[in-house]
Chains A and B, each alone.
Chain A
Amino acid sequence: MKRLRELLRKALVPTLSVLTAFILGGIVIIVTDFEHLSQLGTDPIGAVLGAIGGVLSGYGAMLAGAFGDPERIQEALRTGAPRDVATAVRPITESLVSSTPLIFTGLGVAISFRAGMFNIGADGQLIIGALASTIVTILMSGAAPSEVILILAIAVGALAGAAWGFVPGFLKARTGAHEVITTIMLNYIAALVVFFALRSDTLRAPGSTSPVSRNLTPIADVPTLLPLPGLRLDMGFIVALLMAVVVSWLLFRTTVGFELRASGFNLTAARYAGMSAGGSMMLAMALSGGLAGLAGAFLVLGTVGQLSIDLSGGVGFNAIALALLAGLRPSGVVLAALLFGALTSGGKTMNIVSGVPFDLLFFIIAMVIMFVAAPGLIRTIWRVRVPDPAPEVASVTPVAPSDPV
């Protein structure tokens, strides 16, 4: 009972944060609803009700898109036909599909932040991993069984991402080059490398004028989890969850993880204790890049099935947001990624069904992070007693000034 109350107390701030953010989002929808608001002069009540109705239909569509449509679920329970079941569970599986790359990259960002490296290069690391996987898959096509190609392509994707992430870590440790600059620059370079690679006839889809690769699904495909038609949820999600366990173990149960966190928390102290802070930086960045590379590999080999320029769709920046929201804890990353995945999948439905642009979600996500990071705001708005944030949430900035090693 006491533990339950403790849990409720801890869940109060995130819950109220999400609620407040959605209320603010609703206000934004109403204020920008010109069709209804233009009738304010003639029919004020109708205009306001119409605008509020717009919010409700938008959020309703989002919920249905994230978790499933109640009518369809009833239908599926009644008939039990595989097609109906697939339709009923598709929204929730799509939410999990959207959360998979977020778990990988979120874990990666969390590792690098823990080591005091502000890695904003997850997008670049992801797309380089995806490119490497694509090249391996296409080059090995027919030369080996598809299972072998699949495993090899995933491994190479992870290694390529790790290499791309290692570069800023190495530069920071050896020359003191600021990782914020180098990771941003490497993001642009990665996008251009992929763009350049997709000019080649070997990679590019035959007859396509836009820069997309051949379809990889016939050569190697990540096995799906549910034997139902049209569901994209695949093994990538399970691997992502396993990675969360591995990262958690690595960070909190091993010497390497301890040194990594120590050099992020206080570089000077870590160095005086005889740790190699530079080594920790390089290791953290390589691990971070490797996880982002895995996200890219599973996207091209599973969910999407081909490489394109906009493959990541801003996953890297969302990953920063959710890692911060999660207080840089692996378990928190998984939960936050599930939330973001549901929002993404629901937001797409909201866009299609009710015409409320998807981008509202970024605003809502930003507000959620703001309220979680500043519980004082929640205290003022809702007049409740809330605990101060955990120290990890309160600060990702290393204590020591980031002078190089």
Chain B
Amino acid sequence: MTASTGAPDQATAPDARVVTSGEGLAARRALRAARLRGVVFVALGVLSFYFATRSLDVATTFSFWLDRPGGEFASVKPSVGVLWIITGLAAGLVGILHFLRGAAFRWRVWLVLVAAPWIFATLATLLAGKAANLTGLVASTLELSTPLMLGAMAGILSERSGIFNIALEGKMLVGALVAAIGSSVTRIITGNDIAAVLVGVLLAMLASGLLGLLLAWLGIRHRVDQIIAGAVINIGAVGITSFIFLRVLSRNTQFNQPATVSAIELPFLSDIPLLGPMLFSSRPYVYIGFLIVAVLTYMLFRTRWGLRLRASGEKPAAAGTVGINVIAIRYQALLLAGLITGLAGSYLSLATSGSFQIELTAGKGFIALAAMIFGAWHPVGALGAALVFGFTDASQTLLSVVGVQVPPQILSSIPYVITIVVVAGVVGRVRGPAAAGQPYEQG
């Protein structure tokens, strides 16, 4: 095949043909894809009924704490087979709807109907008669998804404004280190745990915010490719944090004993039976995370500032023409994103592990990035994706605590496999902000 660039007049005729046949082709492809999905769902339904026949007499025990963990509890004992039958019916229904409605069928919404019973049925099958506490599962899902949720929000802010942010991982790592040191030092000086936590978190946010500005400055002022600038921050962050840990913290451990953040029971709300211990007895980070998602959704889609930010990320030239200061918007977005990333980083060292360790983030920044893309650059979508990642993580812990006989490597790989399947099959062709990654010259 040759790649000669034909003269314009020669190129127009085939172009027109390509476009018209392309539309018919697209419609046919969409119909074929819908039918294919229908077949997959029906097959899933049949498979579920097969599982049901083998597990009708197996009962599983899901228990819930009513007032507080360790207190009174209620439990339901559904048959695993019945769970599979529900899954099978739901999958069959969605499969048939695919055939009836064709390409116009909005199946992503209906997916929840299949996914929910499917998850419980799978969980019950893996438990094989052992009892599991779902209150703990929901609570730890919330905890584990918090840093991912925060990271994804930071990613959305910067990419919606037009700047790639693969530096989340590095910024989180620096935030975690700064939080640990800041909190430890404040604790030594003042002896007050609350002050120590606040100073640690604020310093972490400040440090990550500065890194966010550095990323923006390299990209805007020096026109460094944004992926390269992000890689610089990621690699540099691993280097400097590990270096400081080995050279300073490992010998002076008093600098790595921060005040830690523990769970807070929200007044009144935590007294609600069943829901209280599940949703309202978490660390403050969880509540702040949800608050940020709500505020960001409002800011992005309901305020003038949000419209300008999205314009800068989609068509900066047009935004600039109507007088929007694209450069200023991008700096603001990156600073804000950095502050949120720092908060996420401080969660890792002040809440989860209680101290800083080498490469503490362990890829969480990248998974947050995945949650952002998974959620199609929308805060609520990304929140959902973060919760999915958190849930798979939490259920894996639950299964290994209960002592399920599945090799841990297979369990651990489930979230990653699910992510690939979902991104390839469900999310598919999501499109990011059009101008993300492109440098912008303000005229």
Closest residue of chain B to A168, judged by CB? Answer: B420
Contact B235–A362 (Cβ < 8 Å):
yes
Cβ of B431 under 8 Å from chain A: yes
- Asked whether B235 lies within 8 Å of A397 as measured between CB atoms, the reply is no
B142 beta carbon closer than 8 Å to chain A = no
Interface members, chain B 41-94 (any A CB < 8 Å):
none
Q: Are A369 and B419 in contact, with the CB atoms below 8 A?
A: no
Contact call A176/B370, Cβ cutoff below 8 A: no
Contact between B222 and A396, CB atoms less than 8 A apart: no
- Residue from the list A184, A192, A317 in contact with B367, Cβ < 8 A: A184
- Minimum CB distance partner of A180 in chain B: B369
A: which residues have CB within 8 A of B? 28, 32, 34, 118, 120, 171, 175-178, 180-182, 184-186, 188-189, 192-193, 195-196, 199, 255, 258-259, 262, 270, 272-275, 317-318, 320-321, 324, 356-357, 359-367, 369-370, 373-374, 376-377, 394-397, 401-404
B20 within 8 A of A: no
B434 nearest CB neighbor, chain A only: A401
State whether the Cβ of B352 lies closer than 8 Å to any Cβ in chain A.
no
Contact residue among A118, A186, A195, A275 (Cβ-Cβ distance under 8 Å from B227): A118
B side interface size, CB within 8 A: 67
Question: How many A-B residue pairs lie within 8 Å, measured between CB atoms?
Answer: 186
Asked whether B239 lies within 8 Å of A177 as measured between CB atoms, the reply is no
* Chain A CB within 8 A of B110 CB: no
A34, B235: Cα distance in complex, Å? 25
B227, B236, B424: residue with the most chain A Cβ atoms closer than 10 Å: B424
Contact (Cβ within 8 A) A255 B232: no
Residues of B within 8 A of A (CB): 1-5, 11, 15, 18, 164, 166, 218, 221-229, 231-236, 238-240, 242-244, 246-248, 251-252, 363, 366-367, 369-370, 373-374, 407, 409-410, 412-413, 416-417, 419-420, 423-425, 427-432, 434-438
In the complex, the chain A residue whose C-beta lies closest to that of B438 is A397
B232 touches A196 (CB 8 A): no
Chain A residues touching B, majority SS: helix
Give complex CA distance A176, B374 in Å: 12
Contact of A195 among B233, B409, B416 (CB under 8 A): B409
Task: Decide if B423 touches A181 in the complex (CB within 8 Å).
Answer: yes
Would you call A177 and B417 a contact (CB within 8 A)?
no
Other 6 A-B pairs with CB < 8 A, given A189-B417, A192-B412, A359-B238? A175-B428, A184-B367, A258-B3, A273-B5, A363-B235, A376-B222
Q: CA A324 – CA B431 in complex, angstroms?
A: 25
The chain A residue with its CB closest to the CB of B166 is A180
Tell whether, in the assembled complex, residue B423 and residue A32 are in contact, meaning their CB atoms are under 8 Å apart: no
| Closest A residue, CB atoms, query B431 | A403
- Bound together, the chains give a CA A369 to CA B420 distance in angstroms of 31
Q: Are B373 and A366 touching (Cβ within 8 A)?
A: no
Nearest-CB residue, chain A, relative to B410: A196
Chain B residues, CB < 8 A from A118: 227
Instruction: Give the residue name and chain of the A residue nearest to B11 (CB).
Output: A272
Contact between chains at B413 and A188 (CB < 8 Å): yes
Taking a contact as CB atoms under 8 Å apart, the answer to whether B366 and A184 are in contact is yes
